[in-house]
Chain A
C-alpha cells in the first residue's frame, strides 16, 4: 500500500494538474463514456444494426422520439434502412474506436521501435530509417490510406477484400501514422542517449536492447504519449473520412463516417437527424481526445525535455 502510494506520488504533478483543470476532466469523462458505450454497445442498445433481421424498412426515416411522428422505440429516430440510429451510433463508435486504437497501437510499436533504434545506433541505420520516413512523409496520411486501400482492392479478390477490409483499413491508417512516432522517438532518444546514465550502462557492457528497452524507453514515454493521443484523434478522423469517401469500412458494418455519408443525402430534405447525431458523436469524441492530448502536452511538455 505504501509503495503503491509512492508510485502514484511520482506522477503526482500530473494528478495535481488534472484535478485543477475542469476541461481536462470533462474530456476524460467524455472519452471514458465513449469507450464504455462502445465496449458495452450490445448490452445497452435495443437492436443490432449489423443484423438484417433486426430492423424493418417500414421503420425508415422516423424522426427522434420527441418530435412529431417519432416512435418511442427509436429514441433519436431511424435511418433510410429503418435501423435504430442510437444503436447504429454506438456500434459505429465501437468500430471507429477499435480501428483508431488498433492502428495507433500498431503505428506506435512500429514507429517507436524504429525511432529508438535509429536514434540509438545513428549512422547508416538511422539514415535509412529517416529516408524511408521522408518518403512516407511525402505521401500525406489520407493519400497513403487511400493508396493502401486501392492496392488491396487490386490485389485481393472482391470477396476476400470485403472480409479483410477492417484489417486493410487499420494497416492503411497505421502506415500513415508511424512516422510521427518514429520521429519523436528518434529525437527524444538522441537527447537521452547522450545522458550519462546511458553512458554508464554502456560502460558496464549492457546489451543494447536492454539499454534501449529498460533505460531509454521509459524516459521518452512522455512525448510518445502526447503523440499517441493526438494521433488517436487523427486516426478516428481518418477512418471517418475514408468511410465517408466510401473506401473505408464494409457497407453492412456502418461506422460513424458511413452514417454521415448516408445521412448527407437526406440533410437537404429535412431528415436532419440521420446526419446530425452521428456527426455530433464523432466530433465530441475527437474533441475529447484532442483536449486530453492538449492536457498531456501541457503537463509533459515534450519540447522542454
Chain B
C-alpha cells in the first residue's frame, strides 16, 4: 500500500514540477514584467533598478527556484492588470467555481450512472435507444450553445430563473456560498445544468460501455448459469466490476469540469476563476495565468491521487498479492 501510494506520489510530484516549469517559462519568457509594471516616462536607470529588485537579473535556475519557493509558500505575486495579490484574487473567486463544478458533477453522476446502467441492460429497448440518441445530441451541442438556449428559454421567455451572476451569497469566513440562500440556489441552476450536460453524457456512455463489457465476461455467464438472481448479477457482480475504470474517468472529468467552467462562467457571467482567467488571457496577464495553470494541475493531481487510493480499496487485485506458483 505504502509503496503504491509513494510511487503515485512521485509521479504527481513530477507532473507538478513539469507544470510549474511550464508556468515559470510562461512567466519568464512571455512579455517583460518590467515593461508592464512601469509607465512610459520611467527612466532606464529606474527600470534597471526595478529589474534588479525583482531579481530578474539572477540566473534562470535561481529564478525558477525562487518561483517554486513562492508557489509553495503561497506567495503568488501581483496581477499586471489589477495590481492585486494573485492569491487573494483567486481565493475570492474559487468558491464560486468549486460550488458550480461540484453541483455539475453531482448532476452528471446522479443521472449519468443510472442512465448508463439502464441503457447497458436494455440495449435493445426503445427507451434505451431514445436515451442514447439524446445523449449523442447532448455530447454534440457545444456548452455555450446549451447555455444560450437555457438562458433564452428559462430566463427570457419563461422568466423563471436568473441568467447571470450568483444571486445573494452568504459569507462563511472568506468562503462565499450560494447554497445558503434561495436566490443563490436559483442562480446556480442554469449554469450547473449547462456545465453538467456534457459530463453527464460522457459518464453515461462510459458506464454503459464498461457495463456491457463486463456483462460479456465468463464470470457473469457463470453467475447466470448458477441461477443467481439477475438483480444481483447486474448490481452486485457487474456494476462493481465496471466501476473500476469508471472511477478513473470521473477523476479525469472533474478537471474537465473546472476547465469547461470557463465557458459556462463566460455565458452566465458567473464570477468564478474561469471568468478571471478569460479576462487575464485578454489582457495577457501572465502571472495570473501561470498561477491558474499550476492550480488546475494541482486539483487534477490531487483528485487522481484520491482515485488511485480508491482503486486500492475497491480492487483486491491491486491490494493483495497472489500466492506463489
Chain A–chain B contact at Cβ < 8 A: yes
B-binding residues in A (CB < 8 A): 131-132, 134-135, 137-143, 146-147, 149-151, 153-155, 233, 237, 240-241, 244-247, 257, 260, 264, 267-268, 275, 279, 282-283, 286-287, 290-291, 294, 303
Is there an interface contact between A142 and B259, defined as CB atoms closer than 8 Å?
Answer: yes
8 Å CB contact of A287 from B30, B137, B145? B137
Is there an interface contact between A245 and B260, defined as CB atoms closer than 8 Å?
Answer: no
Is there an interface contact between A139 and B266, defined as CB atoms closer than 8 Å?
Answer: no
Complex formed: what's the CA distance from A265 to B142 in Å?
18
Contact A268 B156, CB 8 Å, known A246-B282, A290-B136: yes
Complex formed: what's the CA distance from A129 to B213 in Å?
29
Is there an interface contact between A143 and B259, defined as CB atoms closer than 8 Å?
Answer: yes
Chain A residues near B19 (CB, 8 Å)?
135, 138-139
CB distance from B284 to the nearest CB of A (A): 5
Is there an interface contact between B263 and A241, defined as CB atoms closer than 8 Å?
Answer: yes
Chain A residues near B289 (CB, 8 Å)?
147, 150
Chain B residues near A240 (CB, 8 Å)?
142, 144
Is there an interface contact between B262 and A142, defined as CB atoms closer than 8 Å?
Answer: yes
Chain A residue with Cβ nearest B19:
A135
Among B11, B22, B281, B296, the one with the most A-chain Cβ atoms within 10 Å of its Cβ is B281
8 Å CB contact of B30 from A135, A151, A303? A151
Chain B residue with Cβ nearest A247:
B281
B143 within 8 Å of A by Cβ? yes
Contact A142 B293, CB 8 Å, known A149-B281, A154-B284: no
**Interface window among B56-64, B87-95, B250-258:** B250-258
B85 within 8 Å of A by Cβ? no
Is there an interface contact between A138 and B284, defined as CB atoms closer than 8 Å?
Answer: no
Chain B residues near A132 (CB, 8 Å)?
18
8 Å CB contact of A138 from B136, B263, B296? B296
Chain B residues near A140 (CB, 8 Å)?
255-256, 258-260, 296
Is there an interface contact between B148 and A267, defined as CB atoms closer than 8 Å?
Answer: yes
B309 within 8 Å of A by Cβ? no
Is there an interface contact between A283 and B145, defined as CB atoms closer than 8 Å?
Answer: yes
Is there an interface contact between A153 and B284, defined as CB atoms closer than 8 Å?
Answer: yes
Is there an interface contact between A131 and B11, defined as CB atoms closer than 8 Å?
Answer: yes
Is there an interface contact between B152 and A287, defined as CB atoms closer than 8 Å?
Answer: no
Chain A residue with Cβ nearest B260:
A142
Chain A residues near B31 (CB, 8 Å)?
154-155
Chain B interfacial residues counted at CB < 8 A? 46
Complex formed: what's the CA distance from A153 to B283 in Å?
9
Is there an interface contact between A135 and B277, defined as CB atoms closer than 8 Å?
Answer: no
Return 26 A-B CB contacts under 8 Å, by A number.
A131-B14, A132-B18, A134-B14, A135-B18, A138-B19, A138-B255, A138-B296, A139-B259, A140-B255, A140-B258, A142-B260, A142-B263, A147-B26, A151-B30, A154-B26, A154-B286, A233-B140, A244-B142, A283-B141, A283-B142, A283-B145, A286-B141, A286-B142, A287-B137, A290-B136, A303-B213
Cβ < 8 Å to A, chain B residues 72-131:
none
Contact A146 B262, CB 8 Å, known A131-B15, A279-B145: yes
Complex formed: what's the CA distance from A155 to B296 in Å?
23
Is there an interface contact between B144 and A260, defined as CB atoms closer than 8 Å?
Answer: yes
Contact A267 B152, CB 8 Å, known A150-B289, A287-B137: yes
8 Å CB contact of A150 from B259, B263, B284, B300? B284
Chain B residues near A142 (CB, 8 Å)?
259-260, 262-263
Chain B residues near A260 (CB, 8 Å)?
144-145, 148
Chain B residues near A294 (CB, 8 Å)?
136
Identify the 3 closest CB pairs spanning chains A and B, nearest first. A140-B259, A154-B30, A286-B140
Is there an interface contact between B144 and A134, defined as CB atoms closer than 8 Å?
Answer: no
What's the dominant secondary structure at chain A's contact region?
helix
B243 within 8 Å of A by Cβ? no
Is there an interface contact between B140 and A283, defined as CB atoms closer than 8 Å?
Answer: yes
The interface bits of chain B over 284-303 (1 if a CB of A lies within 8 angstroms of the residue's CB, else 0) are 10100100010011001100
Among B18, B22, B139, B255, the one with the most A-chain Cβ atoms within 10 Å of its Cβ is B139
CB distance from A51 to the nearest CB of B (A): 28
Complex formed: what's the CA distance from A111 to B89 in Å?
37
Chain A residue with Cβ nearest B210:
A303
Complex formed: what's the CA distance from A142 to B264 in Å?
12
B307 within 8 Å of A by Cβ? no
Chain B residues near A275 (CB, 8 Å)?
148
Is there an interface contact between A139 and B297, defined as CB atoms closer than 8 Å?
Answer: yes
Complex formed: what's the CA distance from A287 to B266 in Å?
24
The interface bits of chain B over 14-27 (1 if a CB of A lies within 8 angstroms of the residue's CB, else 0) are 11001100100010
Contact A282 B15, CB 8 Å, known A149-B281, A150-B284: no
Chain B residues near A149 (CB, 8 Å)?
281
B161 within 8 Å of A by Cβ? no
Complex formed: what's the CA distance from A287 to B137 in Å?
6
Chain B residues near A151 (CB, 8 Å)?
26, 30
Chain A residues near B209 (CB, 8 Å)?
303
Cβ < 8 Å to A, chain B residues 1-37:
11, 14-15, 18-19, 22, 26, 29-31
8 Å CB contact of B296 from A139, A264, A282? A139
Is there an interface contact between B259 and A264, defined as CB atoms closer than 8 Å?
Answer: no
Is there an interface contact between A245 and B14, defined as CB atoms closer than 8 Å?
Answer: no
Contact A241 B144, CB 8 Å, known A139-B296, A246-B282, A247-B281: yes
Chain B residues near A139 (CB, 8 Å)?
19, 259, 293, 296-297, 300
Is there an interface contact between B296 and A143, defined as CB atoms closer than 8 Å?
Answer: yes
Complex formed: what's the CA distance from A21 to B310 in Å?
41
Chain A residues near B220 (CB, 8 Å)?
none
Is there an interface contact between B141 and A135, defined as CB atoms closer than 8 Å?
Answer: no
Chain B residue with Cβ nearest A23:
B133
Is there an interface contact between B18 and A131, defined as CB atoms closer than 8 Å?
Answer: yes
Complex formed: what's the CA distance from A237 to B284 in Å?
24
